[in-house]
Amino acid sequence: MFEGPLPRPGIFGFNPEGAPTSSEFFSPPEHVAGGAPLPKFVSGCFAEGKIAAMTALRRSGMKIARSPGLDLAQVTEEEDRVFSYLDHADGEYSPEEIEERMQKVMDEYAGGIRTAYKMNEAGLSMADNYLQRIVSDLPRMKAGDLHELMNAHEVVDRIDVSRVLVAHLRARKESRWPGFQSRTDFPDMDPENWSVFVNSVRDLETGETRIVFRPLDGGGDLKGGHQEDKEVFHGNSH
């Protein structure tokens, strides 16, 4: 972990308690301090996440409740959701089969190794369509034991990430560094128009994901030209 600001726009520096250079935002440094090329470790995220959460609570002045009030109906509803795949004894797909389908789609249509990490609008559109089909099959996924149940929830989360990733790749109409975003239909970097962050906001009730373009200086949304806010609809996988 490190302390102090970084020279790159949009990146936070952190002190050992998980408090970044922005006083209103707390997050595990292991998780967000670097970029894709840097190694990240789950064990570090767990430990630093707890440190960041406890620091945020302490600075907020709130007390940590040992026995918070719970809505038992909500608890039962969540329990039913979590264990639902165990009840699908006659389900058609195992978590492994669903994951293989997802991996094949991302590999062949969303810039995977099969295409030398290159992509285009036609392929990304097909990836989104195929991922939607996989989502429609999730209610028919089954888990034979608790280990498969864990795998089932993991693959559901991976599909969510895959769909948002495809939306981000489609939104950025340029190429960046090889292995990150190489679009054959937009083969060049376009810093004049695309020196922006491509962010997304998801409505957990409707499953809708909205792509938002924001400037590197951390200001508000960009509007106008081809950088207007763009809505991409995704069904909720959960």
Higher pLDDT, 89 or 3: 89
Query: What residues does 214 pair with on adjacent strands?
Result: 197
Compare 209 and 126 and report the one with higher pLDDT: 126
pLDDT digits (tens, 9 = 90+) for 182-191: 999 999 999 9
In the CATH scheme, what architecture does the domain 73-171 have? Up-down Bundle (1.20)
The model's pLDDT over 20-67, given as tens digits with 9 standing for 90+, comes to 444 555 555 544 444 444 555 667 777 877 887 888 878 777 766 665
Q: How far is CA 113 from CA 106, 154, 224, in A?
A: 9, 22, 35
SS3 159: helix
Write down the pTM of the prediction: 0.70
Q: What distances in angstroms separate CA 77 from CA 80, 84, 98, 237, one per listed residue?
A: 5, 10, 25, 17
Task: Give me the residue label for tokens 């608790």.
Answer: 146
Q: Where, residue-wise, is CATH 1.20.58.100 in the chain?
A: 73-171
Instruction: Give the rounded percent of residues in the chain with a pLDDT score beyond 90.
Output: 47
